[in-house]
Every structure is written in C-alpha cells, then in structure tokens.
Structure 1
C-alpha cells in the first residue's frame, strides 16, 4: 500500500530545503514553490527552505497564514525545532530535518511529528538521527568542512 500523497509548499531557496522537496517529489508528493504565503491553506506540508540566518524571517513571513495541523519542516542544521515555536503555538506540527549526508538530523516536539518525519525520510530512502541542540553547530561545521574538501578535490583534477 502506498503512503498518502501530500501537497507540499516550499518557501525559500536554501539548497537543503530545495533538495528535500525534490526528493519528496520523486517519491510522488506534489511540490510547489510558494509565491504568496496567503495561499498556504491549499497545502498539507510547508518546507521552510531557509538558512539559519533567514529562518526567523521565514517564520515571520508565514506565521499568519499557517493553519492548525499543518506540517511545517525547516531544513537548517544550525537551528532546532524550537525555531518554529511561533508556528507550533498556532497548532502546526513542527519538525526540524537537516541533511547530514546519508541521514537527516531531526528534531520534533512530540511522537506524532517524529513519526511523520521518519515516514517521510523512509520514502526518500534516508534515516533519521537525533542531534542534540548543543551538537548542531559542530555538526554543521564538520559538514561544511567535508563539502569544502570535496569541492577542492574536484577542483584540483
């Protein structure tokens, strides 16, 4: 049995968020770039494709337009699920899910949100890894360093 397909809106342009959305699209979900937050009521899921620096502004952009039980996922490794507190108080199911290579660093406030992200990740053949808040900055630095080394290796060829 195939899992339910969802309509997913993407707000922002971060590489991590766009990549996540594209992978969900390949799994059969409908993905749309959101041009106007007022149209959020048409979507089941919102991906905030924002860097850590942009995340607070992105939350502010959509805050008045989300609805209860809407799934909101941000993809910044530097920020945990607490960055979405304003949306959680409006009844949204909030999730942090940032790529780590072969897995995703996840954060969720309850078992329902945790189950949702683990199911979505399984659809795109990824696993979830719980990364404590205190370790997020270090993990982000390591990931950035590994990406730089990879780019240098390609550049030297």
Structure 2
C-alpha cells in the first residue's frame, strides 16, 4: 500500500512536534542546571584584589568592603570583610596572603558576590574594584568586575 500525501504530511508534522519537544526539554534542563543551587558546607577559597590603576608607593590595593556567597539573595555567608579606615586601610592584594582558607556556609549557594572599594585617601576619590555577583556553578574562579578593577574569588572545594 502506498502512503498518501496526507499520511506523509501527518508523519512529518508528528516528527517535527517530537523534535520540538526534545529541544524544549533539553533547553529546560540546561536552564535548570544554570540556575542550580549547590549545597553549602565548608567553602575552601582564596580572594585576589586587582586595581590596575593603583599608583601609590607600593602599587598594591587597599581594599575594603565585603565578599559573600549567597542563596538566591535570602541568606549569605561572608568570606571576607574589612571596613574603610581611610589612611589606615591595610594593603591586601590577596586573602589569605598565601594558600587558601575556609568558611562554613550553612545554606545553599547560588551566587558569589563582591562589593569592594579601594581606599585612595589623599590622592583622589576611592576606586570601585567590584560591584555585583556571578552565578555559582561549583569549584572554579569567579571574577567580579567593577569600574576600576576586579575581585577574583577562587573556590577550591565546597562540602
């Protein structure tokens, strides 16, 4: 028996709908993976502060502000924090100075955020090294930019 034009058209439409469903399901899975929240636990990390325009005696930044890991903005754990002490803000190009450190996050982690300024007391206005968040996708380096530099948080392990 020879298939009719209608039969071919129905088969073609059926295949197209099936493929559209597969693409849609794949897209939903990719979107869900991109928005995944990772279980908290002991976060092993280090932080580097970058200010390419730093021009004082040692050419190193004097950062102040906070670096945190968040769970959809509801809960957060501070990884690093320092107040602006004007002329007494210490030079900290890396935290910790060598190696890595740990902090316990008792919540899911969905973002790494940095809100960090750089003290330029007596020279000009303070710089902004980082202002914002990056989606968390597990261990790796997260660079959060600002108008005058950046902050890179390297997460080595969570759990």
TM-score, normalised to structure 1, is: 0.23
Q: By percentage of residues, which structure has more helix?
A: 1
Point out the structure with max Rg over C-alpha: 2
TM-score, normalised to structure 2, is: 0.23
Q: By percentage of residues, which structure has more strand?
A: 2
Structure showing greater relative contact order (alpha-carbon pairs closer than 8 Å, 6 or more residues apart): 2
